[in-house]
Structure 1
Amino acid sequence: MALPIGTILDGKFKVAQILGEGGMGTVYKVEQLGTNPPYYYAVKELLISSNTSEEERNQSIERFNKEIALLRSLKHPRIAALMLPFQDRGNYYFAMEFVPGRSLEKILEDSKGPLPEEQTIKWMMQVCEALSYIHSRNPPIILRDLKPGNIMITPDNEVQLIDFGIARRFDPNKRTNTENLGTISYASPEHLGSITAPGQRRSAHNPGRPVQTDARADVYSLGATLYHLLTNYEPDPIQTPAPGSVLAKNPKLLTREVNGKRICPVEQVIIKAMQQEREQRFQSADAMRNALLSCLPAEVQARVASPTVQIPAMSPAATVVVKAQPSLSAPASGPVCPRCGFQNRPGAKFCKRDGYQLVQGAVPPPQTRTHQPIQARPARQPLQARSSSILARPVTNSRGIQARPVSPSNGATATRDPMIPYRAGLQYLNSKNYAEAVNQFKISQAQGGPVYDILYSLGRAYRQYGLSVRGIDQKLSQENMKYAAEQFEEALRHNSSAFNAHFQLGMCYRDLELLTQAVQSFKKALSLAPDDAAVYYQLGLTSLEQGSYRDAESYLREGMRLSPEHVLMMVTLGRLYSETRRVPEAIEVLRRAVKAEPESWDAWYQLGRAHMRMKEWKYAVSALERARQTGSQSPLIYSSLANCYLKLNRKAEARQMVDETLKRDRNNTEALRLVKQL
């Protein structure tokens, strides 16, 4: 039975929606408590019936743990990443990256007919990229349950595979699968554990030749999935479609004349992928991708010829390279800050995290490379991530700089060129795989790579990881932030005039609430870049947090002289004026802020609070409602609205806002005070 909406799991996840229920478990969309704006994960729960025998229970738990172990080893932009396994009330769970969008099963259901050919082929080519990755692991990983319901399409039309519940590692020493699970309509003949001769049916007297699934079983399932999407007919179990049958079900499919005969290219791909004898199918997902590419119109082929992620070679020891890109799990494709890597909301003009001016579609720039052959000084003891977290545990020697060994299953090979793991580390960092980024940078460090660049990049990786677990594990977040600060400090010993390192170090100190040190670092950054508005913003914000109002105002005013439309500085200055009882000035600057960026909930919220200080309750309600309309779920908005409604003697609405506040923050002081008054 599914958990009720609102259930709190592991003290940090609130169930927001039931995403799916099946024989293997229930999947929930959960909100991470304490995040603003809200951050979501998908949490999978292991379903164990009370009627289940002890043996079946143990098998289910073992299968669940295998899925966790398998997901932990997979780092690819088209595969939802494992975040955190945990137990709660005796049940087993794990949290994963939440993938927004719809499954192909849902898209097909909503379309009430075959899906567009060109778009479907492009999606299947992306699936091939993910399959090529898992099939190239050592040992290869076989998905075994590829079907429309397990393929998500994000709002950006990107593919993500989401269910590895019955995936298995190929074992060349086995004759057949230990368990034969999967959805029969998409399952290859070998899913049943044996293959019969052509034209023969499997029976008790003819059980067939024992065989286990390999990568070609996923090729069959992909062909069956493509058949379903392009015809809107579920494929017949373990049947190869007859020539002409796909085109008959969807006459709109592209055809071409070859040697005087009319053929349907995509039908031929489906038929080849769904051959009964696996030797007659495409022998790899990469080969099937190439065949799908040839099915597209010539003018389209040129645009999509290169994979959106680089497909690794099929060698078990192949180096995995993924294209740097924003996280596919982001709820919207807002601009990425080139300084700190934070993905902002669409339309944002300045980074919410560091105040840097943004450009739509921006990605982190390459690091400045130094070539001085300086040996890195001994680093201090690195922070240790919990074994249940996604960050690999850094292993050091007595000097603290030894990289941990890399196994072939991680897709890396030893190399004498330190720039190869360094560049791979940058790619992993940009794709938010912080564990592997740290690992690759340490390999480059041990092999004599560029010292400043590596230390600076390690600092970024540890800081970004620390930020990613904030609200989930505060202690772990703080520890990694400390280690990030150490890396930036070490980098500055090698290049004291590095602006970015001073700026990032200041951000670390501020995150650690070491405000005096933060101001010192930002001042050093300012001396190197006196016209950088983001530094003035950080100095103003940090000074305000210290209570140094005069310094804060000075920094913010100078920053706004350089960047008059810097909304975050306007909001901070408005907050400062409110706190120093200069409320009319606060209202004036905050009105400028909401005019410049109407979707900024912070600006509307601060404007509402300023009107509350003036006891202008109707104006305050208007501004706070605008803050709520931006989509923000901050409990501060709701508690402020509750206060305003009570002042206006609208008690029913006040009670509703109190309830909404406490749903989001059970310890909200303002809401708890209002409960007593109501």
Structure 2
Amino acid sequence: MASNYSDPNNISSVRHASGQGGNGTDQPRPSGAQFASIPSSNAGQSASSSSSADSGGQRRRLAPGTELSDARYRIERPVAAGGMGAVYLATDKRFNRPCAVKEMLDDFNSDAERQQAVEWFEREATLLLDLNHPCIPRVRDFFMEGGKHYLVMDFIDGMTLAGVLEKEGHVMGVNGARGVTEARARNWARQVCSVLSYLHNQTPPIIFRDLKPSNIMVTSRDEVKLIDFGIARTFQSQRQSTIIMTVGYAPPEQVYGMPEPRSDLYALGATLHRVLTCHDAANNKPHIFSFPPIRSLRPDISPAFEQVLMKALGSNPDQRWPNSAEMERAIINLPPITVTPPLSPGAGQPGSGPSVHPVTPPANLSQPGSGPSGSPLTPNVPQSAGGTITGPAASYIVAAQGHLATNRIEEAYKAVMQACGVEPNNPVVHKLFGQVFARRVPPQIELALQAYNKSLQFNPDDAETHKLVGDIWLFLRPQPAQAIPAYIKSLSLNPKDAEAHFRLGQCYEKTGQLEPALREYQEALQLVPRQPVQPALHFALTLGQLAQRINQLPVAEHAFVQALVINPAEHRVRFMLCQVYEMQNKLEDALRECSYIIAPLGNDPAVQQTYQRLRARLGR
């Protein structure tokens, strides 16, 4: 696993002259530095200096067992090292917990170079001490010992996006493209937009300036952490500046020494383009700022998500999203993903053709975010009992399923009619008829129920068909009391179906049976997979709101915490957790959660009032 450390070898320091005739200046940056917070020298010195510094640095690495700061921190092992410094996994003996110790070596060519490096290192420490966001590692300590400077931070156990792409980017595209799933990329994009919004709303705004796959870490829970803040800068209008950037991720205005908050959005677009396609920006044509459309390399990516990212990659800042909050809102409001892409054979999905497997509910049954009845889970595209389609009607059945997955209802109907002509007693055929009738506009509810009941005559133990009957009564009639027996029967046949538990909970809640509803929501949250993110997040939020409503505060607290584990960037959920803590008189916890969101939600009077009330109650 990597630590909260990135490889800054791609960081460039570029001399830039003023557009008004002023002479540009370079800030010296010791080359080969393994801290992005230490300025590097010019490119001409890079190779030789790096080799010399690294060899000297290697002789001075801290050995495991070394203790620092009056024996508080015990070095366990190095996790990243370079010519000018290193990062170690250490143990904070006071609290008996792991931490990351970031060290800067004194290996400079001049006093001026040393002074500049120390200033940058201290700037990173001061910057991070003042920041408070779940996507930013916390600084624990900052000290000097033995002529070296040390920064103690949260140890992030995870991988950089560059590492994730290398090890887990198995979704195959065309022309050699490969990358991660769209669901993961959306999740990361939302979180990064959230932390960029927080940084850009500081006074003055903080521009990260070197967003790229190696400066973004993800934990085992897919939580994003920004690392290497040494090159982050507060935004000040100026006509000359040193350019700290990585070519291929930096936008044109940054190359010319004029970065602004929207420069980070370009870098985020370039980063996500990379992790989705593995495309090297050095191959962009006709110039490095001309990225190929994502779907030209990954046809499985939804057009809406591609549009969000390609807008972020606009060459002119005015062509991009106006700010990170707007980009985050666009990502949150994207339509659900409807196609799971083909993986490489080595990733467990044989074959090279695209696999169609919808992950959204039937369009005319429910839509995520459409209200309390909405469900973001998989639509009920039927399969045969054994999980494979065999028999003389197999090709028609598979064709119908593909049409349903892409919402081509009438094409699906024609394919099912052909299947029925070959196998009129096949329960899957009648289940598909039910799907077609239910999803027509307007839905043909009676025909759908007849088709499902016909399917159950041939296969009464099909849990999926019983759930489809429940869906009719819950979403299309709607008469939730009539849906309860169908969902109970479905769960008796498949008790591990998270979606069925959740929908049964919805029925109980709609009919005023709140305690049974709470139990079903809890069971659903326990069973639902964490990928894709949206269903688990929806389940956790629904459970937390019901628990808070009926004063089951520990349950509400647990649910909201689970929601934030799934996506730490959900500011409204964090505010709900704050309110639950206050209701439980856990005022310190409430104030902590409220402080996380006071910047992004500061315009909300309720958030402001809660924050001020908590400070007053705690005497702050």
With the length of structure 2 as denominator, give the TM-score of the two structures.
0.45
With the length of structure 1 as denominator, give the TM-score of the two structures.
0.42
Q: RCO (CA 8 Å, sep 6+): is it higher in 1 or 2?
A: 2
